[in-house]
Amino acid sequence: MNHLDTQLQKAQVKQAWEDVRKKRLENDLTEQLNEIQIKKAELDLAQHEQLQEIERRKQLAELAKLEQEANHILLASKVGASILAVVSFIVVTIITIYEKLKAVFGG
C-alpha cells in the first residue's frame, strides 16, 4: 500500500505541477491577448485620428476653393464697378459737353 500511496502522491504532485503550468500558460496567453487588444485599440484610435485629419484637410481644401471663388467674384465686381464708374464719367462728360455746346450755339 505504501508503494501505491507514493505513486498516488507522485501523480498528484505531477498533476499539480501540470495545473500550475497550464495556469501560467493561460495567464501568459491572457496577458498577450490583453496586449494585442491594447495595440488594436491604439491602432483604431490612430486610424480614427488619421481619418479626422483627412476630413479636416478636405474641408480646408474646400474652404480654400470657396475663398478663391469669392475672391474672383469680388475682383469681378470691382472691375465691373470700375467699368461702370468710367462709363458714368464718360456719359456725364458727354452730357456736360453737349449742354455747353447747346448753350454756346443756342440750341
Task: Name the domain count of the chain.
Answer: 1
Q: What is the C-alpha to C-alpha distance for residues 46 and 35, in angstroms, rounded to an integer?
A: 16
104 domain-assigned:
no
Residue 90 lies inside a defined structural domain of this protein: no
Inside any domain, residue 36? yes
Residue 95 located in a structural domain: no
Cα separation, 46 vs 19, in Å, equals 40
Domain assignment present for 53? yes
Contact partners, residue 107, CB within 8 Å, separation at least 6? 101
Q: Structural domain of residue 62, as residue ranges?
A: 1-75
Q: For residue range 11-68, what is the model confidence (pLDDT) as tens digits?
A: 999 999 999 999 999 999 999 999 999 999 999 999 999 999 999 999 999 999 999 9
Assigned domain for 15 exists? yes
Task: Look at residue 89 and tell me if it is in a domain.
Answer: no
